[in-house]
Structure 1
Amino acid sequence: MTSPATPDSAFTNSSRDTEKIHVLDLFAGPGGLDVAAHFLGWESIGIEWDANACETRYSAGLPTIHADVRTMRTERFDELPDDINVLVGGPPCQTFSVAGNGAGRRALTEVESFIKRLVAREESSEEIDRELAALGDPRTALVLEPLRWVMAAIENGKPYEAIVLEQVPAVLPVWNAYKEVLESGVLPGRIKYRAECKVLHTEEYGVPQTRRRAVLIARLAEFGQVSLPQKTHKAFTRQKGEIAPAGLITFDEALREEAGHVEKPHSGRKEREPWVSMGEALRGTSRELGRPEPYVVVSNYGSGGDPKNRGRRTSDQPAFTVTGKISRNVVETPDGRPLPRFTIPEAGILQTFPANFPWGGRDQAQQVGNAVPPRFGVHLLAAALGLGEARVAEALDKMDEWPRISEEERERLRKIGCGDKDKCPTRPPHPPVAPLR
């Protein structure tokens, strides 16, 4: 096995990091983390099975392989570029989105036990696959895929230098289990990482919506300690007595969540900027639609256990968490007169995609809702690579405009992505019923 550290590593020569970073995005979706990598000046390639998301990616000029991540790992691993050194991704979260009920808690417990069994390597991978297939929901097993990719890369002699994973808050116990494994030296070759994981609030990184995500950031131990990204904007908290819509927390809850993770102020640290409102983010686009400010957005979801008690946000506040149902949000004037609902470009802007990002395929609202906000992604990737504030600011300053590509380039990427039709999925992948080779 070759050593993961080389003299020209991206971490040992910061002046060359732009040309040395090559990102692999598992479960890539329409490309939130790829867009972040692009604005940081890095190359990326995504693996995505959903044909609609692939169409968006081809239109955006994002290199893509239209495939199941498990098939790529077990049968096509050698087709990937051999200079990939950063792994990112967010496995499907539906199973864990219901972690508050019995099924969700059981799924989390099962996955944590499988993590320990996987790295122990005391039983065959095929046996673990059979048991995973028997869990019922095929998406549950996918949360193990990033770890299996980490192990596969090590076994192929090229460990990833950095890892970034993100998912719904309920997945934090899984990321904690990942952290324990990554830092313990039980991986093949006794490779060790430094890792941090926590639930972060995207409005504290300049995203104009209240979205909570469980993130894990890791880098090879020999490159030193890793830290979560520093918050740049203030938290959005509700006032005392206000009914809490989905995704919004009280000030006291925010303090409790920060317990054990208090940031110590030091001289020279900038004061956080105010959170970004949806009105500020959408101002130019909204005027084109003839939507005056102020306006009110009504949540699709009930609050306090009452489906009829829907939260409301005004245009001078951040949006609710952007989901695949954002196009159904009622938008109205303060006195209740209807206004145009959010368009796909507007929804994309609330996720911090450039206004001209070329959404393609069907189910575009779902694509938008599933994406990692690119601005948030810049902060995560920069933290994983240990980049300073200047590099982050430089990337964020470029995010207003997405480069257009030619139809020829789009077709070239589609041909590469789908290639052999026998390898191109036409339906959602399912766990194999027979042992994997």
Structure 2
Amino acid sequence: MTSPATPDSALTNNSHEAEKTHILDLFAGPGGLDVAAHFLGLESIGIEWDANACETRYSAGLPTIHADVRTMRTERFDELPDGINVLAGGPPCQTFSVAGSGAGRRALTDVERFIKRLVARKESSEKIDKELDDLGDPRTALVLEPLRWVMAAIDNGKPYKAIILEQVPAVLPVWHAYREVLESGRLPSGVKYRAECRVLHTEEYGVPQTRRRAVLIARLAEHGQVSLPGKTHKMFTRPKGETAATLDDAIREEAEHAERARARRKEPWVSMGKALQKSSKERGRSEPYVVVSNYGSGGDPKNRGRRTSDQPAFTVTGKISRNVVETPDGRPLPRFTIPESGILQTFPPNFPWRGRDQAQQVGNAVPPRFGIHLLAAALGLEEARVAEALGKMNEWPQVSGEERERLRKIGCGEKGKCPHKPPHPPVDPLQG
């Protein structure tokens, strides 16, 4: 395989959209969307605040700027490499998540109102920032950063040709508000996009877990219609009598009856047993097992959901290491390792997880297989290109120590270890 920092020239596509693609991944985490871009043969660069995730990215050979997304936009926008024309991002979801404090969910109406105020440009950014901070959790305001980047790119004369955003399902109303302004012609210079947004189920794209994400895909209006990725696998139907481990599991019941009829011609969903048996090189989990989820249980063992190895995993979160794994008759088995957790997110088995809080890194990531489908839909890539990319996902290329240090030196200005707080080095990870 080629180095992750270099597009795979063996991948071919007739679409000029793909050949000129250079992706900027905001809130990039350990690299889910960037891994997807690599397998599709596309260039990408990520902006990430967390030093631990940066260490993973450098070890994987992924170009990275260790910085605060807001600081990059307001103070360092001109340091970004030339040619960036696709924006992607998944803003931190803690305040919107069912598992979080809920400040963001309570502020959804306010956030939608702020979107209109940002686009109107009748008030200073400082005034809007102050009011956003007063919502109760400063992370809530980060969900507006992608829109601000869209406007900054237009002001710079280089609007993004495509936009891909994903978040927890509770953020869907925000994406609907995004869609309205993107299509309205009220953006600077009258730039218009075509956009679609909806909650998607990752197991319907071959990811061996039931994870629901609110997705928005947009494309410049002159590039034609845009659509969300077509489903490739069936939706997982929770067995009758199974206790929902999360609110996500309960909500999904609403759509299952109609989905059964639509799914007859799709591939079966992928079980965690199949994924780990096929991909895990360090420990083959060949015997049947049961996973007892600690997520959403409130600490009460009676409320803990159970999944067997012939079913998809529960949503992979930063608490996956707390899930109990046992034989069907209750004998304890080793819990999921970080590489196994990564496999359930569809990272290659040998992906080089580094730094601290690795379980959190895994849980925060976009599943790369899902990312491939999102990027392909946004850019209009051919099915053959997607199939080729999916076929390469079982191995990640080795990255030399020299390359890791080069990326770290450029991305955060230090050799040996990434500093805890984002530094301010010159930035050009693709050219440096």
Q: How does 1:24-423 map to 2 (within 5 A)?
A: 24-98=24-98, 103-246=103-246, 247-249=248-250, 253-255=254-256, 271-284=265-278, 288-289=282-283, 291-302=285-296, 308-419=302-413
- Percent of counterpart pairs with the same letter? 83
| Counterpart contact for 1:18–1:40, Cα < 8 Å | no
Counterpart-to-counterpart distance in 1, 2:81 and 2:363: 29
Q: Report if aligned partners of 1:301, 1:307 keep a CA contact under 8 Å in 2.
A: no
> Alpha-carbon deviation of 1:251?
7.3
* Equivalent position amino acid for 1:201 in 2: H
Over 3 Å counting, the alpha-carbon distance change for 1:214 and 1:17 in structure 2 is same
Cα gap change, 1:198 to 1:257, in 2 (>3 Å)? farther
Q: Name structure 1 gaps, 5 residues minimum.
A: 1-12, 430-437
1:285, 1:400 → 2: CA distance? 7
Q: SS at 1:369's partner residue?
A: helix
Shift of the 251–30 alpha-carbon distance from structure 1 to 2, 3 Å rule, reads closer
Q: Deviation of residue 374 (structure 1)?
A: 0.2
Alignment partners' CA distance in 2, 1:427 and 1:84:
25
Q: 1:53 Cα shift?
A: 0.1
Distance 2:39 2:281 in 1: 27
8 Å CA contact 1:289, 1:340 repeated in 2: no
Judged with a 3 Å threshold, the aligned counterparts in structure 2 of structure 1 residues 370 and 148 are, in CA distance, closer, same or farther, namely: same
Q: Which amino acid aligns with 1:122?
A: K
AA in 2 matched with 1:369: G
Counterparts of 2:405 and 2:103, CA distance in 1: 43
Tell whether the 8 Å contact from 1:115 to 1:178 is kept in structure 2 after alignment.
yes
CA distance in 2, matches of 1:230, 1:138: 35
The aligned length equals 407
8 A contact 2:316–2:363 mirrored in 1: yes
Deviation of 1:309 (Å): 1.6
> What does residue 4 of structure 2 align with?
none
Q: 1:426 aligns with which of 410, 420, 427?
A: 420
Cα distance in 2 for partners of 1:111, 1:351 equals 30
Q: Residue deviations 1:258-291, cap 9 Å, x none?
A: 7xxx97x9xxxx9210000001000045574364
Residue 145 of structure 1 aligns with an amino acid whose one-letter code is E
Are 2:58 and 2:408, in contact at CA under 8 Å, matched by a contact in 1? yes
Unaligned runs of 5+ in 2: 1-12, 424-432
Aligned residue for 2:384, secondary structure, equals helix
Q: Distance in 1 between matches of 2:280 and 2:386?
A: 28
* Kept after mapping to 2: 8 A contact 1:58/1:413: yes
Aligned-pair CA distance for 1:196: 0.3
Question: Does structure 2 conserve the Cα–Cα contact (< 8 Å) formed by 1:68 and 1:425?
Answer: no
1:44 and 1:100, CA in 2 relative to 1: closer, same or farther beyond 3 A?
Answer: closer
> Residue type of the partner of 2:137?
D
Alignment CA distance shift 1:99-1:294 (3 Å):
closer
1:148 Cα deviation from its structure 2 partner = 0.1
Q: For the residues of structure 1 that align with 2:305 and 2:322, how far apart are their CA atoms?
A: 14
The TM-score with structure 2 as length reference comes to 0.89
Considering only aligned residues, what root-mean-square deviation do their CA atoms show, in Å? 2.5
Cα distance in structure 2, aligned partners of 1:284 and 1:382: 25
Assess if the C-alpha contact under 8 Å between 1:239 and 1:250 holds in 2.
Answer: no
What's the offset of the Cα at 1:392? 1.2
Following TM superposition, by how much is the alpha carbon of 1:387 offset from its aligned partner in structure 2, in angstroms? Answer: 1.6
Describe the SS at the equivalent of 1:300: coil
